[in-house]
Amino acid sequence: MKLSNVLSGERSTPRALPNFDSTTVFVRATASYLCGEAFPRLGMISPAATPLTPLLNSLPRSVRTKGYTCGGASEGISPDELGNVDVDSFREWVVDQYPERGYPAVIVGSSNGAAVFLAAALGVPFFPQTFQLPIRRSMGADEIRTDIAWGAHHAPPFLEANPDVALHQMHDPNQDRLMVRKLAYFRTKLRTLGAAYESFLETVLEPGGTIIVLECGYEWPAINLGDRYSFQLGGLGGLESREYYEGSERIARFLAEQDADIRRWDVPEPDGEISEAEWGFDDALRDDIERVATSRGYDVRRLCFDDPRDLSPFVADLYRDRYDRRGYDANRLFVQSFALVEPWWTLRTGSVPYWSAFNTQPDAEFVEEYLDDAAPYDDVRATLFSHGVESAGLASIDRWRRVLERGRVRGDFVGVDTAAYPYDVETHIRYHADLPDEIGDRYPHPPPMAFDRFDSFAFGAQEEHAVEWLEG
């Protein structure tokens, strides 16, 4: 039995939009909370997989790593289908997830795990700008120039069919090493709201309501391949951008450990830095949001930050302030890694959410920097997303243990098999299954935070956090 068959549930996304990606998971998690529901198994893994969970990590490591590769490949489409992909269907899928009722605000913009918890606090939908489009193809993980040429050949029909998006072809032979052998990553950024987003706003946004534009200014070196089309080597994680393009001792060691016959990647010189493929914000969308807001009398607020992880301390302190005001014991920090987010149980257990983009050394440092500045927590817990490769810049289990030791009374993992990490396939199910047992406290779910209260908090928090809260 293939591991991918064990883990995969029924496809609920439109053709070409993967069931599993940061964006689709974040939308599902937000929608589940707004529907008053928990978010088990990433919102997509079949319940039939749950009884098999204890068996997955007993499989040979080679089988588990192959499962990552094959599972990813099963989500891809043929390159011959690219001209038939309609990104409007992605927008329609997003709005179909949310209850059709009145909202005082909506969040539109950069994909970000902390945005899930911000949306949960306000009780409002999150509309992402960025979607992944995985395309099947077989290629060596280190064949960078070959992938560039492959993309340049296959991308034009997609760009012609979707004139209101920018295409960022992304290839990460470090963190996504298992996946890029069978998949090309096309990340598309909406440059307009489009009919589905606009229609939903008109239907549910209250008169004079607010569009919160989530703007992550994170940039990355890229190679210009034409109008609205670029190629990006690497991405946010354990390495600096220059290392991907120029090489480093860390990359040389990693490639040697992977038995590669090279010690740095052969890649053309980048043309400059642009919005990062997965997390960055394309400013063109803001112009269209302002057009819609002006024509329909909506307010616009911009929540701006430079690094995707900058939003996490802001949202954590928002929750801590909120819990304090309700008389909750706001002394548990729950660090949730990449796609392993669960807003319903986070609030039910009175935990303060902190989103960690990945499980790398910089991610661990970001959490520690937050803990350095925050009032002490008695309890610090964490999930760890396992991606099936000991990538350069990965933080070890012992490194994460040191982070958890910052809890004055307790620090522990949730749903993590520390002996199997980073090949811990079970964590994609166990993160949720173990959560209610590991954290016994229960609190009522608070009502949505009033927007004027949030507006006041955000304005004052600019002095303490690396965010800007601006009028549109």
Q: Are 183 and 134 in contact (CB under 8 A)?
A: yes
Of 305, 337, 354, the domain-final residue: 305
Greater confidence (311 vs 47) lies with: 311
The parent domain of residue 76 ranges over 3-305
126 and 207 in a common domain: yes
Counting other chains too, the contacts that 326-329 makes at CB distance below 8 Å and 24 or more residues apart are 326/446, 328/443, 329/441
Same domain, 158 and 35: yes
CA 67 to chain centre: 21
Local confidence band at 3 (pLDDT 50, 70, 90 cut-offs): very low
Task: Answer whether residue 77 is part of any domain.
Answer: yes
Q: Which of 253, 270, 305 is the last residue of a domain?
A: 305
Average pLDDT in the 173-187 region?
A: 96
Give the three-state DSSP class for 207.
Answer: strand
Q: Are 295 and 436 found together in one domain?
A: no
pLDDT at 291 over 80: yes
Q: How many structural domains comprise the chain?
A: 2
Q: Of the ranges 73-77, 125-129, 222-226, 446-450, which one carries the lowest mean pLDDT score? A: 73-77
Closest CA to 124 of 11, 19, 214: 214
In a domain, 471, yes or no: no
In a domain, 101, yes or no: yes
Q: Indicate whether 264 and 367 sit together in one domain.
A: no
* Whole-Å CA distances, 131 to 6, 59, 178, 244: 25, 32, 20, 23
Beta carbons within 10 angstroms of residue 324's beta carbon: 11
Q: What is the pLDDT of residues 79-125, one digit of tens each?
A: 999 999 999 999 999 999 999 999 999 999 999 999 999 999 999 99
Q: Specify whether the CB–CB gap between 363 and 310 falls below 8 A.
A: no
432-460 tens-digit pLDDT: 889 999 999 999 999 999 999 999 999 99
Residue at 78 is within a domain:
yes
Question: Does position 268 have pLDDT exceeding 90, yes or no?
Answer: yes
pLDDT of residue 42: 80
Mean pLDDT over 362-387 rounds to 97
286 and 206 within one domain = yes
301 shares its domain with 322: no
Cite the DSSP H helix spans in 162-279.
194-204, 241-246, 249-257
User: Is the pLDDT confidence value at 390 over 50?
Assistant: yes
Mean pLDDT of 252-259: 98
Mean pLDDT of 346-362: 97
pLDDT at 48 over 60: no
For the record, the structure tokens of 244 come out as 């991907």
For the segment 400-412, the average pLDDT, to the nearest whole number, is 98
- pLDDT at residue number 68: 67
Residue 324 sits in the same domain as residue 360:
yes
pLDDT at residue 20 in the model: 84
Triad 380, 425, 132: Cα angle to 5°: 90
Q: Is residue 469 part of a domain?
A: no
Phi-psi region of 259 (alpha: psi -120 to 50; beta: other; left: phi over 0): left
pLDDT digits (tens, 9 = 90+) for 4-33: 333 444 447 898 999 889 999 999 999 999
282 & 299 share domain: yes
Give the CATH number for residue 424.
Answer: 3.40.1360
My answer on whether omega of the bond before 422 falls inside 30° of 0, hence cis, is: yes
> What is the C-alpha to C-alpha distance for residues 169 and 180, in angstroms, rounded to an integer?
12
Q: Examine the domain organization and report whether 167 and 220 are in the same domain.
A: yes
Domain match, 23 and 52 both: yes
User: Are 300 and 322 found together in one domain?
Assistant: no
Q: Which helix (H) or strand (E) holds 266?
A: none
Q: What percent of the chain has pLDDT over 70?
A: 94
**One domain for residues 324 and 295:** no
Domain end position, chosen among 248, 280, 305: 305
Task: Tell me phi and psi for residue 165, to 5 degrees.
Answer: -130, 160
pTM: 0.95
pLDDT at 73: 67
Residues 61-70 have pLDDT tens digits of 777 777 666 6
Q: What is the dihedral of CA 441, 447, 453, 457, to 10 degrees?
A: 30
- Give me the pLDDT at residue 67, please: 67
In a domain, 468, yes or no: no
